[in-house]
């Protein structure tokens, strides 16, 4: 079980722009192991579009997925800045502070901030 979960990337987000994102918890059925991943893309008009794509991918690997909430990400690759804000109407607000910690693992040289602002 451990190896497959390690193969799942912590973060998959668009390289630039402002877009919706969700925080997803992966869990091995019947196991203690769990981890949270961040997924976001401009292609998603609604937060559930992201989940509907991630969920089957993770189920194939043998994980149960739960959406912990959503928001928006403003990704400025030129200035190496990411801002996390907003919320998902359907899933509620993700814990942006958790999202930021996950993003920092991947975007190590970025300035990453979050707020509860809607815009």
- In the chain, which ranges are E strands? 11-13, 17-27, 34-41, 64-76, 81-85, 111-114
20 annotated binding-site participant: yes
Distance CA 43, CA 54 (A): 13
Among the listed residues 47, 49, 75, 96, the single catalytic one is: 47
Residue 96 known to be catalytic: no
Half-sphere exposure of 117 (CA within 13 A, CB side): 8
Number of alpha helices (DSSP H) and beta strands (DSSP E) in the chain? 3, 6
The token duo for 28 is 């091995």
Hunting for tokens 């994980």 — which residue is that?
Answer: 63
Question: From the annotation, which residues make up the binding site?
Answer: 20
Question: From the annotation, which residues make up the binding site for substrate?
Answer: 20
Active-site residues, by number, are: 47
């Amino acid at each position: 079980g451990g190896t497959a979960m390690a193969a799942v990337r912590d973060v998959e987000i668009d390289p630039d722009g402002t877009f919706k994102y969700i925080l997803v918890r992966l869990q091995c059925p019947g196991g203690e192991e769990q981890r949270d991943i961040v997924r976001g893309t401009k292609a998603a008009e609604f937060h559930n579009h992201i989940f509907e794509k991630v969920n089957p991918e993770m189920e194939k690997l043998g994980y149960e997925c739960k959406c912990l909430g959503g928001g928006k990400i403003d990704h400025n690759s030129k200035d190496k800045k990411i801002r996390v804000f907003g919320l998902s109407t359907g899933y509620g607000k993700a814990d942006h502070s958790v999202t930021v910690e996950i993003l920092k693992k991947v975007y190590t040289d970025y300035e990453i901030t979050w707020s509860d602002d809607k815009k």
